[in-house]
Amino acid sequence: MSRQELYPEIEPYDSGSLSVGDDHEIYWEISGNPDGKPVIFVHGGPGGGTTPKQRQFFDPAHYRIVLFDQRGCGKSLPLGSLVNNDTQHLISDMEALRELLAIESWLVFGGSWGSTLSLAYAQAHPDRTEALILRGIFLSRQSELDWFMSKEGMGAIFPEAYDDFIASLPEDEHDDIFNSFYTRLTDPDPAIHMPVAKAWSGYEGSCVCLVPDPEVIAASRMDSKALSTARIEAHYFKHGSFLPEEGLLGHVDKIRHIPAVIVHGRYDIVCPITTAYTLSKAWPEAEFRVIDDAGHSANEPGIAKALVEAMEKFKALP
């Protein structure tokens, strides 16, 4: 297999639903080698859910590949639920899943919001984290949230997409775009929340690739994808992703000893490279790989190649 390619498509050999309370049922699946080195894939969003293609970053002969959908998204139920949906509960869900699967420790692989949750999990459970593979770094600082929502931030690079984004709101609500979106996204009436959910998720989908991909944009606007992504992202943004005041950078010392690879696209517009650079300066022990011909998406060739190479490197772990 050429390392610039993903591994062939595979199907799970086991899957299930884990009840974690508050009516939340967490979907999980395992593929690859039942006796292999465990790795957990932590998807983005928050609220994005997993896809079958995400199994293909890992050699199925070597790795026991665990995918799960976080609270309220993907195949987890109830869809779009915000009840006790916060970072601490997601970390607890990961631990409950690890214990259910009788895994002592695992590699933790996450991109975008998945990098945020992976870092938070590792800082809470460094003894359960053998290595970190992080892509498209997002630390959920206020400056990053402002960039996402602002006409002068992400909207300055994708002005057409930004205009479509805010066009879902009445003009008299444009002075406080975030809170207008949040109020509508959390309204129980689909006639109110679905139009803005599709606008929010479609905006993000328009900006994730170096060259906008019509298929990615169309998928982002699908009802189930749009609702969970937009509602849960707004919920987390509203509450600073439920992180401590000092943020993730304030606890790097807890994970400094863990082998790590950070992969980031030079032209990542959703999560600008300055965030990854800041993390790499605070954590020089981690390998930092900048992909000069890529944006944010893990499916861009340079990003995918670097992620597969990182997983090949970590085959050497005992």
Which tens digits make up the pLDDT trace of 160-175? 999 999 999 999 999 9
- How much is the average pLDDT of 180-202? 97
What does the pLDDT look like over 151-163, one tens digit per residue?
Answer: 999 999 999 999 9
Q: Where exactly are the structural domains of the chain?
A: 14-142+242-316, 143-240
**Phi, then psi, of 26 in degrees rounded to 5:** -95, 120
| Res. 1: pLDDT tops 80 | no
Of the CA atoms within 13 Å of residue 110, those in its CB half-sphere come to: 32
| Res. 4: pLDDT tops 80 | no
The pLDDT of residue 169: 96
**Which residues lie across from 46 on neighbouring strands?**
none
Alpha carbon distances (Å) from 125 to 74, 177, 254: 25, 37, 9
Q: Which of 307, 255, 248, 303 is nearest to 278 (CA)?
A: 248
| Res. 2: pLDDT tops 50 | no
Query: What is the C-alpha separation between 167 and 147, in angstroms, rounded?
Result: 18
Computed over every residue of the chain, the mean pLDDT equals 96
Q: Which CATH class is domain 14-142+242-316?
A: alpha beta
| Given the residues 31, 76, 81, 112, the one annotated as active site | 112
What's the pTM? 0.96
Query: What is the C-alpha separation between 90 and 121, in angstroms, rounded?
Result: 9
SS (H, E, C) 102-141: CCCCEEEEEECHHHHHHHHHHHHCHHHEEEEEEECCCCCC
The pLDDT of residue 122: 98
Query: What is the C-alpha separation between 142 and 145, in angstroms, rounded?
Result: 5
**Cα angle value 279/282/287 (rounded, 5°):** 65
Q: Is residue 245 very low, low, confident or very high in pLDDT (cuts 50, 70, 90)?
A: confident
Region of poorest pLDDT, from 84-93, 140-149, 210-219:
210-219
| Res. 3: pLDDT tops 70 | no
Share of the chain above pLDDT 70, in %: 99
Query: What is the C-alpha separation between 155 and 139, in angstroms, rounded?
Result: 20
Share of the chain above pLDDT 90, in %: 95
Q: Is residue 224 very low, low, confident or very high in pLDDT (cuts 50, 70, 90)?
A: confident
Question: Phi-psi bin for 264: left (phi > 0), alpha (psi -120 to 50), beta?
Answer: beta
State yes or no: is 17 an active-site residue: no
| Given the residues 206, 241, 268, 297, the one annotated as active site | 268
What does the pLDDT look like over 80-134, one tens digit per residue?
Answer: 999 999 999 999 999 999 999 999 999 999 999 999 999 999 999 999 999 999 9
| Given the residues 24, 235, 264, 296, the one annotated as active site | 296
| Res. 72: pLDDT tops 90 | yes
State yes or no: is 163 an active-site residue: no
CA 242 to chain centre: 15
